[in-house]
Amino acid sequence: MFEYVVERTEGSARAGTLTLPHGNVQTPAFMPVGTHAVVRGLSAADVRRTGAQIILGNTYHLHLRPGESVVHAMGGLHRFTTWSGPMLTDSGGFQVFSLEGLRRIEEHGVQFQSHIDGTLRMLTPESAVDIQWQLGADIAMAFDHVVPGQSSYEAAREGMERTLRWLDRCKQRHAQLAGKLDSGEAGIPLPQTLWPIIQGGIHDELRMRSLEGTLERGPWTGVAIGGLSVGESKPVMHRVIELLTPALPVNTPRYLMGVGFPPDLLEGIGRGIDLFDCVAATRNGRHGTAWLPTGRLNVRGAALKGSTAPLDPDCDCETCTTYPRGYLRHLFMVEDILGLRLVSIHNIRFLVRLGEEARARILDGTFCGWSRGWLSRYYAGGD
RNA sequence: GGUGGGGUGACCGAGUGGCUAAUGGUAGCAGACUGUAAAUCUGCCGGGCUAACGCCCUACGUAGGUUCGAAUCCUACCCCCACCA
């Protein structure tokens, strides 16, 4: 049910297939983020047309609104959203980082003050797992403690060790719920699997200890690398990835959380990453930045006024095959929601296609050269 | 014709003697965004020179005047609006 098969490798890069209850995911792959059970601005059909195979939801946000019991009563996230493909829910661990100032960390869990109405909400390893079972995605993430990229050894060590202790508790609760499912008690339509998250900041020794501690607690159907792209430099991020992937089991998918921008995907794939998620595709889309093979394009820019050219002539997305640049710019100038949607669609398709092409290249053994050329062309565009 | 109100940078609109090249907003231009507190945020926005500090020029309807100093006070004129004839 949660099988991962690596079909071919080239250097550290891998092409594989992940089997999940709601379908397969061919890797490498980018997963669009749908924090509030929606990829912002897009319908499930829009997302499907981008070629995305799996999307995310978020424990913290869906716990606040509408509440996991509501989603569960409506038949789980798949029925709730009408997205019938694979899904993954993040645990709320990232909010420990992003909502710093609205939360207090304790060993028992994290006390959040809701950013919506100020009410106090405790998230613990156990409740994060409970909520995710109620939401019913294919993959649940362990509740982790993410520290900023600049964190000292001491701060990173604390977050990393806590993440391991919390992993034990997540695992235990997950096993309890899986046992209930087996005996038909849970009332949950399909099983889900739990993935752990490696932490340790930018400190290699901590990263390795996190990896070892995580693997000791396995086996796992997938392993995530968290706590990157949170303020550290690119070379440091690359170093940490290179450090970890060789030490991970081959037939386990590696998920680099929160990454990335287009070049980050190729840099990650080349270093052995299989799965990515990132809000940048949709956020940049809403903010008027489109990704092109030659770097970023400001869709609001005066240069696009009157242009009849497609956004990206090489792209097969709905936006690029239908609308001229001058119209997309116009949509942003008049602040119509269609503009936000169309550029989001393009950016997602752009990353999905990057994954598809990388996969094809790995399968025919031409990934490394192609990736090098792609990256130099992208960076030459001024990025 | 009379009375009253008003003319400020692309637009709207503050400012009623020095802290004013002139508050705010809009429009415009540029940039940022990485497991989403983000359809958000930041910067620029009279002209010229400078890498920059900064310097110079031109500006608050027009023309004069008062003053060390004027968008701000005075005079005349032009234009706009309202009401009355």
Asked if pLDDT for residue A184 goes beyond 80, the answer is: no
Q: Tell me the mean pLDDT in the region A67-96.
A: 96
Q: Is the CB of A156 under 7 A from strand B?
A: no
DSSP of A121-181, one letter per residue?
Answer: EEE-HHHHHHHHHHHT-SEEEPP-----TT--HHHHHHHHHHHHHHHHHHHHHHHHHHHHH
CA–C1' gap, A288 and B29, in angstroms: 15
Nucleotide nearest to A146 (CA to C1'): B35
Q: Tell me the mean pLDDT in the region A60-68.
A: 97
Per residue in A217-229, pLDDT (tens digit) is 989 999 999 999 9
Assigned token pair, A112: 């959040």
CA–C1' gap, A358 and B45, in angstroms: 44
pLDDT score recorded for residue A56: 98
ipTM of the complex: 0.93
Q: Is the CB of A163 under 7 A from strand B?
A: no
Q: Tell me the mean pLDDT in the region A86-114.
A: 96
Q: Is the CB of A283 under 7 A from strand B?
A: yes
pLDDT score recorded for residue A141: 98
Asked if pLDDT for residue A154 goes beyond 90, the answer is: yes
Q: Is the CB of A196 under 7 A from strand B?
A: no
Q: Is the CB of A159 under 7 A from strand B?
A: no
Question: CA of A164: how far to CAs of A33, A167, A214, A216, in Å?
Answer: 25, 5, 7, 10
Instruction: For residues A33 and A31, give the distance between their C-alpha atoms in angstroms, rounded to a whole number.
Output: 6
Q: Is the CB of A151 under 7 A from strand B?
A: no
pLDDT score recorded for residue A46: 98
Nucleotide nearest to A276 (CA to C1'): B35
Nucleotide nearest to A281 (CA to C1'): B34
Which residues of A does the annotation mark as catalytic?
A: 90, 277
**Cβ–Cβ under 8 Å, residues A331 and A338:** yes
Asked if pLDDT for residue A33 goes beyond 70, the answer is: yes
End-to-end CA separation in angstroms for chain A: 41
Q: Please, which residues bridge with residue A8 across strands?
A: A15
Q: Is the CB of A292 under 7 A from strand B?
A: no
CA–C1' gap, A303 and B52, in angstroms: 30
Per residue in A302-326, pLDDT (tens digit) is 899 999 999 999 999 999 999 999 9
B chain positions with any atom within 7 Å of a protein CB: 27-41
Asked if pLDDT for residue A382 goes beyond 70, the answer is: no
What radius of gyration do chain A's Cα atoms show?
20
Measuring alpha carbon to C1', the residue closest to nucleotide B28 is A302
Asked if pLDDT for residue A189 goes beyond 90, the answer is: no
Helices A125-135 and A153-182, interaxial angle, to 10°?
50
